[in-house]
Structure 1
Amino acid sequence: MCIGQLGNLLPHVTLSANLAQHLMPAWGLSAAEGGLMASGYAFGYMLAVPVLTTLTDRIDARIVLLCGSIVSGLATAAFGFFAEGFWSGTIIWSLAGLGFAGAYMPGLKALTDRLPAGDTSRAVTLYTSSFSVGVGLSFLVAQILADRWGWRTAFYVTGVGPIAMVLACLLIEGRRPAPKSGRLLNFAPVLANREALGYILGYGAHCFELYGIRTWLVGFWTFVVAHQGGPSWMTPVLMSFCFAVISMPASILGNEAALKFGRHRAITVVMIASACVALAIGLNATAPAWLLALLLMIYGLTVPADSGALTAGMSAAATSEHRGATLALHSTVGFGLSALGAWGTGVALDIAGGPQSASGWLLVFIVLAAGIALGPLALVWARRGHSGKRPS
């Protein structure tokens, strides 16, 4: 399942990896338009995931996963063939996000349905943290292909990646959920589960920060190289790849810290640290490249370190009969705020001077810091309202 997910994630940041250097100049887009186009992926995901993930409470999640993977791959390739500007690009990229809505959380549901009873937090964390390796490969492959053969080729090739999950779906055994009646989109039991809801809202803050920095990481380092120089090997390709890949051990270690020191405490410390690092990067946007590279690598550790702990906490807090609906709300909130993070940081960049302005990047990182700083508040709210009993 983790290997299949790497294939499904190969298209994930193909647009973001080529946004500042290729797509915005080619189509004359502002940062706000570029951010909005990138957020189309998260928006399409947000619209589809409530139905597709909740559906896994009624049919085998493997079926949803298979269909979502196919749609994701076809839509990514279609971007390379048919996208000609802001509107066509946004619509097609939204379809790719819609397909991924059937590929990520339904994949987690397909995995957890097949795990033995007991604590599954390490398996869930391995699955969620492999997300980071997939994103790193997406950054790497998309930029190398675009630089050598054009950005359209990057979309053609990364669109083939989801075939790996299609093969994984064909290899795992089928499983039929117990028959279930009632409305498909019934989130009332999830909203009543304040413990799970706290993790869901915290995940939303995490996604706002994560998608915001992923959308503009290549653009920011392009600014650094243009104004501060630095070693020739310290390219946007290398920086974005390293930033994404170190997320996997960070997420695993973050969950281990949560198991040892307490989930709320560990997540809160990570979120506050991440906000501080974001502010440090923004305030030092004109510092030497080596210092910014160091700060970005630290940020690459703090941004994802709460991800596995948040998702594992949500999964543990969810009641078994409403796990699909809980996963659906988790993803809906997360990717809804992902879309807001990509667009909001683009707007901030335009307001404060654009991609070639240090003040523009300062405001971007202030927005990111403010977003993640809201996460601990959600956890405090959940703890104060949690009576110690899970809702039935």
Structure 2
Amino acid sequence: MQITKFAIPEVIFGNGSIQFLASCAQRLGAKRVLLVSDKGIEESGWVALIREILESAKLDCIYFDELTANPRDRQIQQGAKLYRDSRADVIIGLGGGSPIDASKGIATIVSNGGNIHDYEGANRIIHPLPPMIFIPTTAGSGSDVSQYAIITDEKRQVKMSIISRSLVPNISIIDPDLLVTKSRELILSSAVDALAHAVESYVSRLASPFTESQALTAIRLIAGNIKPAANSKNREALKNLSIASTAAGMSFSNAGLGVGHALAHSLGGRYDVTHGMALPILLPAVIRFNQPSCERKMATIAHAIYESCPAPVSDRKKSLSDTLYNLFEELGIPMQMRKIVPDNSHMEEICKLAVQDACSVPNPKEATWQDLYQICSEAW
């Protein structure tokens, strides 16, 4: 029997659960916290609410928001310096994947020293990290429950994957109320990110019964709720997408991902495009590539989608890749790579980098850079 492990944080979930933030921080020994977020979250009013909750509990709050959409290596070093200089004792990450990944990077440098590049790859973090509480404001990245952090190396133009059990936070507070201020575009891109997490981790060579059940839960919930969540911000649908994102995060954190995410990392490093833009374009071609290696699992995914998002019998004869392509196109998502990147002159280099990405390792079918180039050509 395969020996497996399943690492997750303490999860506090539900509408209004943000009210428990101060007591959670105090339970971790907080007196002065470093709050990591970004200007977009600040404009939505959530940063002010968090600071008010902390200050009402007489907790000092140092605020760091020098972040871009894909956090840079230099920003991690800046945040770590602020943590040390202010003598903070707990890190709170508020936002989507970028502020939360940045929080993980800052925590890594604070406790282990050096430069964030030193920890690229798997299991290179030695010393325990300071206590971390994450509050996702999107339903997609899953970073608030995962063992992954993605940081951009500006010099190499590469998104570095940092993977360690140490990156799982102490507590994740998931409050679906925070999704109501998100745009339709962000709700969609986040949900597709979570769907890609679920699909890739379900067919991963490291999948286990623990991860497979979480992945299928996520797939069903996303298929059944993505349209009402995006089109009308239906609160029940948004709550279900939050559950789906958490389930998919638990799955990929423990089972790994695949070549779709490896390519998205390389494309993001070169062109600064987000996962949510790249993954829907790549996913149908990635599924076609992987299908011969996991026919039964792909059929299970297709059944889960049709079960949750009923379609005419004629549509059920379509391949899974075509079903997803049509769904994404119906939602208004651009489905050609040429619409999000300026040219394909660096595609060979991007594919060679993607083959070396840690996410490629558990892909169900071994891929060469030429295979990845073919996937990109199909998606172009």
Class of the TM-score when normalised by the shorter of the 2 chains: under 0.3
The TM-score with structure 2 as length reference comes to 0.26
Point out the structure with the larger helix share: 1
* Structure with the larger RCO, 1 or 2 (CA within 8 Å, 6+ apart): 1
